[in-house]
Amino acid sequence: MRKIDPERQQAKRRQIMEAAGNCFARRGFHATTTAEICAEAGMSPGNLFHYFDSKSAIVEAIVEEERADTAAYFAALDESSDLLEALLDFLDAVMAFAADKTYARLALEIAAEATRNPAINTQMAAGDAQTRADIARLLRGAMARGQVDASLDPEQAASWIVALIDGVFSRLAMDAGFDPQREAPMLRLVVSRFLKAGSAR
């Protein structure tokens, strides 16, 4: 019996996820066919279905990977000496992703699918809750160091920061002239002034 190579299996899954993501960004989730994903990934349908049994399963894997990557990012930020600056750097990273047209279109497509697919909706809600909790934890640490206004409610502040991030992608969907790279310094300024110690009224 042939042994399963976990690294090779994960690489194949990643290849399919990237191919499917490109297709979903170009044509939308429902318009994309399995044959198109196979062509993009350079593999047969039989090979694809060995790793994912449906397009929805691929989306679920993409959402889970995003959740895990974001959680790992915030775990690493806990070691930062300036937690406010670390959070602002995170916003810069978000705007860099938003400037990637393929990423932005895929994010919007997955968000739309979450309104129709309860499993994806549950996944995205869990990821959102985790991100808000991670930001709130970071803010509490920054408050303890005097880097963020301690009079703010960290959970409420985290919810508003996530709402701003969500708004970036909504803006992209509505305004073709919105340039995340150009707007990134303004987002950083708005959040910095909102959070800076002694700035609350």
Is 7 exposed, middle or buried (CB count within 10 Å of its CB: 0-12, 13-18, 19+)? exposed
* pLDDT at 199 (0 to 100): 53
Q: Nearest 5 degrees, angle CA 90-CA 93-CA 96?
A: 155
* pLDDT at 46 (0 to 100): 85
Tell me the residue type at 160: W
What is the longest distance spanned by two Cα atoms in the chain?
Answer: 69
Residue ranges of the chain assigned to CATH 1.10.357.10: 59-195
Q: Considering only the top CATH level, what class is 59-195?
A: mainly alpha
Which residues touch 103 (CB under 8 Å, ≥6 apart)?
25, 97
Is 8 exposed, middle or buried (CB count within 10 Å of its CB: 0-12, 13-18, 19+)? exposed
Answer whether 108's CB lies under 8 Å from 173's CB.
yes
Answer whether 119's CB lies under 8 Å from 61's CB.
no
* pLDDT at 201 (0 to 100): 47
Is 62 exposed, middle or buried (CB count within 10 Å of its CB: 0-12, 13-18, 19+)? buried
Q: Is the pLDDT of residue 20 over 90?
A: yes
Cβ of 98: how many Cβ atoms within 10 Å?
Answer: 23
* pLDDT at 198 (0 to 100): 59
Q: Which residue has the tokens 């047969």?
A: 44
* pLDDT at 170 (0 to 100): 94
CA distance 111 to 113: 5
Q: Is the pLDDT of residue 118 over 70?
A: yes
Per-residue pLDDT band for 141 (boundaries 50, 70, 90) equals very high
Rounded to an integer, the average pLDDT of 181-193 is: 96
* pLDDT at 6 (0 to 100): 76
Question: What is the CATH architecture of 1-53?
Answer: Orthogonal Bundle (1.10)
- Residue 196, beta-bridge partner list: 148
Tokens of 11: 């690489």
CA distance 184 to 92: 6
CA distance 71 to 68: 5
* pLDDT at 7 (0 to 100): 81
* pLDDT single digits (tens) 38-87: 999 999 888 888 899 999 999 999 999 999 999 999 999 988 999 999 99
Q: Is the pLDDT of residue 13 over 70?
A: yes
* pLDDT at 200 (0 to 100): 47
* pLDDT at 197 (0 to 100): 62
Rounded to an integer, the average pLDDT of 140-144 is: 95
Per-chain mean pLDDT for the chain: 92
Is 161 exposed, middle or buried (CB count within 10 Å of its CB: 0-12, 13-18, 19+)? buried
Residue ranges of the chain assigned to CATH 1.10.10.60: 1-53
CA distance 41 to 12: 9
